[in-house]
Structure 1
Amino acid sequence: MQPSTASLPLMLKQLRLATIKEYWEELAEKAVTNHWHPEQYLHELCSLELSAREDKRLQRYVKEATLPTGKRIEAFDFNAISGVTMQHTEQLLQNTTWVKQGGNLLLFGASGLGKTHFASGIAFRLVESGIRVKFVAATTLVQQLQAAKNELKLTDALIKLDKFSVLIIDDLGYVKKTEQESSVLFELIAHRYERHSLIITSNQGFEDWDSLFDDTAMAVAAIDRLVHHATILQFRGESFRKKAANKQQES
């Protein structure tokens, strides 16, 4: 290191250019050897820094999403069910305008048809494209929001979730029908309406949502908001878990 550049690592540290700080000397030697122009050397340094920051951002988004392990869309068996196709799925993933517009993705079907796997697979791909996602079980989310409401902090809790462009609510059908839980669930749906996206999995169709909401008018209002900008997929077929159990018995 030349005397004139002795303070460079400190300046790079203060500028929070950690990757450039790590590689500038190594890349400088390469630049001299290959007779790079100064502009090319600067370009390579900036590319390394941006790439490293993108990797860290992706790791952070994946961690905060709390997605189920291994549930990638590439491993989803589209041939085992009807109601959803690879082509339609790729359209949702390649054109994410629906996320920017606060559109919803609603997945219905009996238990064991892969709704959670599908939602998680969609989420992984959205995260990889730079979209912040959060996955949470419906019962857990409702309990958290109910606790926040009891502490007069429900608005704060809803605003905190706004940092996630997509909120996945898994197994909505298991939410208990009580006035308190119905209320916070409706407030969440109303708060995100036309602002941020929801992906919901449920083993109960809309016709049975009177079992989720204590008030029928509230159920209708919630459904109206959800379907206004929504893609609705109905999963049909035989339970993957049932198939696995039958195969195990046969063996």
Structure 2
Amino acid sequence: MDKATASLPLMLKQLRLGSIRELWQTMAEKAIHEQWSPQQYLAELCSAELASREDKRLQRHLRESKLPAGKHLSGFNFNAIEGVNKAQVHDLIDRPSWVKQGANILLFGASGVGKTHIASSIGYGLIEAGIRVKFSSATALVQHLQQAKQELKLEYALLKLDKYAVLIVDDIGYIRKTEQETSVLFELIAHRYERCSMIITSNQSFEDWDTLFDDSSMTIAAIDRLVHHATIIQCLGESYRRKASLKTKEEG
């Protein structure tokens, strides 16, 4: 082995070409055996490196998204609810132009009908399409922003969320109606308006949102911003959890 070849692993490490560093020898033997041209050999190495980086990016974005495990589109029973179908959800995933427009998706329905599952399945699909997503319960997110506001860091916290093109806020109806929580929730909505997208799930329809905001004018302003560019989905059906509980009792 000549000096240049001997130093190749070190140079590839310094260049952070991990996959090429692992594969160049094995692929070189294959190239010789199959009589590849130098260009084909280089192309195969580069392709492997790019595929590895894409897989690592996907895994990193899945971890940081905090999406609930297992809530993929393939596992959702659309026959159990009305108001949404598989083709509609696929379209939101396959044609994500709404994300570039800073548009929103609002999912309404009783507890247990699958709103979180649908929102999460859209999140998983968007991540696979290269779009960064963050999932959080509304209560946890508001508490985080409230803490940031107390530390005079709310603007920084809102800007930090901007790296996620889509923010999934789950169960907004469970936020306690306090001046502090109302304030940061409205500031979040206003901050992302026409800039970054939100997917919001709620067991309360708009006419009941006066329980979320202390001021009626703030309620109207928040709803106005959310629905200006939005897909609104009303999920109608019986609670999955209730049906599962009844089935368990029957089997017992």
Short-chain TM bin? over 0.9
Q: Displacement of 1:87 after TM fit? A: 1.2
User: Does 2:146 align with 1:146?
Assistant: yes
**Separation in 1, partners of 2:224, 2:174:** 21
Shift of 1:2: 3.0
Kindly provide the amino acid, as one letter, of the partner of residue 86 in structure 1. K
Show the counterpart of 1:114.
114
Letter in structure 2 aligned against 1:233: I
2:221 matched to 1:221?
Answer: yes
Consecutive unaligned residues of structure 2, counting only runs of 5 or more, are: none
Q: Could you tell me how far 1:4 is from its partner in structure 2?
A: 2.9
Distance in 1, Cα, partners of 2:83 & 2:235: 5
Distance (Å, rounded) in 1 between the aligned partners of 2:220 and 2:168: 21
- What is the match of residue 203 of structure 1? 203
In structure 1, the partner of 2:96 is 96
Match of 2:162 in 1: 162
Q: CA deviation at 1:157?
A: 0.2
Q: Which moved more, 1:131-140 or 1:3-12?
A: 3-12
Quote the Cα distance in structure 2 between the aligned partners of 1:9 and 1:86: 48
Q: TM-score if structure 1 supplies the norm length?
A: 0.98
**Counterpart Cα distance in 2 of 1:57 and 1:90:** 23
Map of 2:4 onto structure 1 = 4
The Cα shift of 1:40 comes to 0.3
Instruction: Determine the structure 1 residue equivalent to 2:25.
Output: 25
**Cα offsets for 1:151-187 (capped at 9, x unmatched):** 0000000000001011000000000111110000000
For 2:66 and 2:89, the matched residues in 1 are separated by 22
TM-aligned CA deviation for residue 90 of structure 1: 1.3
Name the CA distance, whole Å, in 2 between partners of 1:199 and 1:4. 54
In the alignment, the residues of structure 2 paired with residue 56 and residue 93 of structure 1 have an alpha-carbon distance, to the nearest angstrom, of 21
Partner of 1:58, secondary structure, is helix
Alignment of 1:78-97 (within 5 A): 78-97=78-97
CA RMSD of aligned residues (A): 0.8
Deviation, 1:3, is: 2.7
2:235 corresponding residue in structure 1:
235
What is the SS of the residue equivalent to 1:70? coil
> In the TM superposition, what is the alpha-carbon distance from 1:9 to its structure 2 partner?
1.3
Corresponding residue of 1:134: 134
CA distance in 2, matches of 1:15, 1:87: 44
SS at match of 1:102: coil
TM-score normalised over the length of structure 2: 0.98
Deviations 1:67-92 (A, max 9, x none): 11111111111000000011111111
Q: Output the CA distance in 2 between the equivalents of 1:50 and 1:38.
A: 18
Separation in 2, partners of 1:141, 1:91: 28
CA shift, 1:244, in A, is 1.0
Query: Residue type of the partner of 1:121?
Result: S
Secondary structure at the aligned position of 1:235 is classed as strand
Letter in 2 for 1:23: L
* Matched residue SS, 1:69: coil
**Which structure 1 segments of 5+ residues have no match?**
none
Q: How many residues align?
A: 251
Paired with 2:3 and 2:148, the residues of 1 have a C-alpha distance of 58
Give secondary structure in 2 for the equivalent of 1:67.
coil
SS of the residue 2:113 aligns to: coil
